[in-house]
Structure 1
Amino acid sequence: MTPADPRLSLNQATIKYATLADALRLTAGAGIPAIGLWREPVADVGLADAARMVADSGLRVSSLCRGGFFTALEGAERRAALDENRRAIEETATLGAAGAPGSASVLVLVAGGLPRGSTDIVGARARVAEAIAELEPEAHEAGVTLAIEPLHPMYAADRAVVSTLGQALDVAEQFPAASVGVVVDTFHIWWDPDVQTQIARAGAGGRIASYQVCDFLTPIPADALLARGMMGDGHVDFGRLTAAVNATGYSGDVEVEIFNAEIWATDPAEVVARTAQAFTDHIPLRDTRHPA
């Protein structure tokens, strides 16, 4: 078996239906050194057991997905969302500490869409910044980086009113870089004519908390969330985007995160092997590596 790239991380979403135990086993067994975790599989076994399983796996943890969804107007729903994010911060710190050396305590944040019946996207974006301002001191104390992930504009209404890397940076730059950064996800930002400038901006400020890769497929399926594909199967120029990220000096793990019904229906072991090969073929990383 050819060793996987030392910076490759398999995001659990790519093998959505695998249990945490199976995801850890398959990732480590394929020689992939890192994993991006999701809160739901962690909750299925409990945080303490999940941390023990991660420690036993020998894998680095590259991120935990996900927090956010805090665009609701002030009231019980917003308070509940903020409390849920506090729990996510605790989980991120625990799992990051359990991972192998080089693990990151990064909590990926999806901003949330418009509240029901609202068209006030400006107000919703303002509430994102207000929520992060409330959570940042707790993240800082826990040693966790809140990583704002801009989503493709087709998700602005229902998932994320933060659509561009520039918008994410406008929020992140209000806070220390150690506690608030951004996610550069090729699926979401490949189309943006200003993306290279914004990647450079993120790198100059030390704001790239995660680099995630997958392809953008057409035709877009009925569930637009599932338009992600394996690298090389779609429209993304990975050479250009990866070169821009490399130029910033980012040397962290690079996650493959794919939401795709056909991939989810495939044997997870086959998906893991294909992921490692597609990463080697299409993600041109330089020789910056994690320490052994």
Structure 2
Amino acid sequence: MDLTGFSINQMTVKQLSLPELVKGCVELGVPGVGLWREPVAEYGLAAAARLVADAGLAVTSLCRGGFFTAIDPAERAAALADNRAAIEEAAALGTDTLVLVSGGLPSGSRDLAGARERIADALAELGPYAAERGVRLAIEPLHPMFASDRCVVSTLSQALDLAERFPAEQVGIVVDTYHLWWDDRIAEDIRRAGAGGRIHCFQLADWVTPLPEGVLNGRGQLGDGAVDMAWFRAAVAEAGYRGPVEVEIFNDVLWARDGAEVLAQTVERYRGLLSA
């Protein structure tokens, strides 16, 4: 079955080196990869860009920027500088999408509203900078269990409230099934995002229970959990999204397996989703 538009996020098979990932994608007919800054930096930014381009693969996103919620001026300045670097890395890799994990509450703070306003302040500064380099900022809402330490943006509605302050070519959102499957407003918010041209990235991972002790790495392989993947795929398509479908799974059990086998399994699970 045609894999047009399919992308494998590097973290799904993080046990593979970048050359191994590229080789596996070419052999399986996977046309796109979502990359992460740390392994790209380890391999070398220019070398990574050449490797992926020479293989004919599209870089569908770069993870990650964000962490905008610090109160200390020096910490905020450092975060902005790091995000400018991330934007430049995305441009060098040939992707138009930088995924943002916005940041949790600063130590000792309980001010969610203030933290979200600091995110807006950062987007106001970074949005034009990114647009000048052909890069869009994509706010990723994370499940509410991550609000305190990783991301005070928990729903698609909250992400859109931030993104809609800026032009769509500067700031949009990520629809990630793992983080949003539970939200009873998700259908209307996907329509809202699509109407505004704000869906900049669409990611798949399943929700499995019981959650592991390390909750961050508890995303499930497609089809193993509670998420109606076919519904999400149809919803974003009906909202006008025509971009890549990227599978991003953080899972210690998958990472302990042979990476080539996990990659092949993920492709087959995705094929099953397409035929559902």
Corresponding residue to 2:138 among 143, 147, 151: 147
**Residue aligning to 2:35:** 37
User: Residues 85-115 of structure 1, C-alpha deviation per residue, up to 9 Å, x if partnerless?
Assistant: 000000001101xxxxxxx410000001110
TM-aligned CA deviation for residue 160 of structure 1: 0.3
**Residue aligning to 1:23:** 21
**Residue aligning to 1:84:** 82
C-alpha distance in 2, partners of 1:208/1:39? 22
Asked whether the equivalents of residues 7 and 60 of structure 2 are also in contact (C-alpha less than 8 Å), the reply is yes
Corresponding residue to 2:214 among 213, 223, 234: 223
Q: Which runs of 5+ in 2 are unaligned?
A: none
C-alpha distance in 1, partners of 2:274/2:65? 27
**Residue aligning to 1:164:** 155
Counterpart amino acid of 2:131? H
TM-score (norm 2): 0.97
Aligned pair count reads 276
Counterpart amino acid of 1:235? A
| Secondary structure, aligned partner of 2:99 | strand
TM-aligned CA deviation for residue 283 of structure 1: 4.4
User: Residues 188-247 of structure 1, C-alpha deviation per residue, up to 9 Å, x if partnerless?
Assistant: 000000000000000000000010001011101111111201111000011222111110
**Residue aligning to 2:228:** 237
The answer to whether structure 1 residue 113 and structure 2 residue 104 are counterparts is yes
Corresponding residue to 1:197 among 188, 191, 194: 188
4+ residue stretches of structure 1 with deviation over 3 A? Answer: none
C-alpha distance in 2, partners of 1:151/1:68? 13
The answer to whether structure 1 residue 263 and structure 2 residue 261 are counterparts is no
Alignment of 1:268-279 (within 5 A): 268-279=259-270
C-alpha distance in 1, partners of 2:7/2:112? 34
| Secondary structure, aligned partner of 1:274 | helix
TM-aligned CA deviation for residue 46 of structure 1: 1.7
Counterpart amino acid of 1:19? S
C-alpha distance in 2, partners of 1:94/1:63? 12
| Secondary structure, aligned partner of 2:33 | strand
What CA RMSD, in Å, does the superposition of the two structures yield over aligned residues?
1.2
Counterpart amino acid of 1:200? R
TM-aligned CA deviation for residue 74 of structure 1: 3.9
Counterpart amino acid of 2:97? V
C-alpha distance in 2, partners of 1:48/1:57? 14
Asked whether the equivalents of residues 242 and 284 of structure 1 are also in contact (C-alpha less than 8 Å), the reply is no
TM-aligned CA deviation for residue 249 of structure 1: 1.8
Percent sequence identity over aligned pairs: 57
Corresponding residue to 2:115 among 113, 118, 124: 124
| Secondary structure, aligned partner of 1:37 | strand
Could you tell which deviates more after superposition, 199-208 or 113-122?
Answer: 113-122
**Residue aligning to 2:166:** 175
Alignment of 1:241-256 (within 5 A): 241-256=232-247
C-alpha distance in 1, partners of 2:155/2:227? 16
Corresponding residue to 2:93 among 91, 95, 108: 95
**Residue aligning to 1:47:** 45
| Secondary structure, aligned partner of 1:209 | strand
C-alpha distance in 1, partners of 2:39/2:81? 20
